[in-house]
Structure 1
Amino acid sequence: MDCSGLVVTAFSKENVTLPRTTGDLSTRGDWIDVKDVQEGDLLFFATSKNNRSVNHVGIVTNSRPGYVEFIHSTTSRGVITSKLSERYWYLAYVQARRVM
């Protein structure tokens, strides 16, 4: 399962219909400041070198001041939990959105 598939599947369990691609997901809901993210918000990332186009998405699972944890699906490790403070994700972060 890819990252957007994980998001679409998770939200469909709550009867929330979302578009299937990460690019389309990145325009849904309301933009929010990363300092204001809550559980269930979406985080978007640009993980390709020399390209800031959004190509990865995760769902916030835990948030408190200065700390954000999210679940996402990776091609190499499957579905995992990561922290936004990890250097890779911190540098790749583009935006957060609230769809519910």
Structure 2
Amino acid sequence: MSLQKAKRIIKTGKEFIGTPYVFGAEPGRTDRFDCSSFVQYVYGEHGNILPRTSRQQYLVGKPVPFASVRRGDLLFFATPKRAKLKGIQRIGHVAIFIGNNSILHTSRVEKKVAIASLNPYWRKKLIGARRVVE
């Protein structure tokens, strides 16, 4: 992903900081999000059409080793409810990597769109990363 495009995607996402988290939020709504509807909306605003759920989003783009993650890449996590499942069924959360060991996302933890540190909570739950935009 070009650095400029990543910056634009992140800027769009930051415009929604504070927007409430609602599990199962309808796609296209901007008054509430869940993790994957947030990612789907923000990327869609920049012409990148992504599927609706975090597990479907994990199948898009190309895998990136965590050591090579760049701003704008998607990070995928296990959630407590899914931790014991296998394969992509473990994925229960997606976030946008914004650099400086931080993610932009919405979750049950923050209850709204927010910037969070990967350490220590999210780092332990990290499953993988994907580059969905070149």
Q: Same fold (TM over 0.5)?
A: yes
Q: Which runs of 5+ in 2 are unaligned?
A: 1-32
Q: What is the CA-CA distance between 1:73 and the residue it aligns to? A: 0.6
Alpha-carbon distance between aligned partners in 2 of 1:10 and 1:23, rounded to the nearest angstrom = 17
- Matches for 1:41-56 after TM superposition, within 5 Å: 41-49=73-81, 50-51=83-84, 53-56=90-93
**Match in the other structure for 2:59:** 27
Stretches of 4+ moved more than 3 A in 1? none
Counterpart residue identity of residue 64, structure 2? I
Q: Between Structure 1 and Structure 2, which shows a larger proportion of helix residues?
A: 2
- Matches for 1:82-97 after TM superposition, within 5 Å: 82-84=116-118, 86-97=119-130
**Match in the other structure for 1:58:** 95
**Match in the other structure for 1:40:** 72
Q: Structure 1 stretch 1-10 or stretch 49-58: which is displaced more? A: 49-58
**Match in the other structure for 1:79:** 113
SS of the aligned residue for 2:96 comes to strand
SS of the aligned residue for 2:91 comes to coil
Alpha-carbon distance between aligned partners in 2 of 1:90 and 1:70, rounded to the nearest angstrom = 11
Count of paired positions: 95
Alpha-carbon distance between aligned partners in 2 of 1:82 and 1:35, rounded to the nearest angstrom = 19
Alpha-carbon distance between aligned partners in 1 of 2:98 and 2:70, rounded to the nearest angstrom = 8
Q: Which runs of 5+ in 1 are unaligned?
A: none
Which digits, 9 at most, give the CA deviation of each residue in 1:16-71, with x for residues without a partner?
A: 10000111001110000111111110000001254250000000111xxxx42110
Q: TM-score, normalised by structure 2?
A: 0.66
Q: TM-score, normalised by structure 1?
A: 0.87
Q: What is the CA-CA distance between 1:90 and the residue it aligns to? A: 1.1
Q: Structure 1 stretch 21-30 or stretch 75-84: which is displaced more? A: 75-84
Q: What is the CA-CA distance between 1:74 and the residue it aligns to? A: 1.3
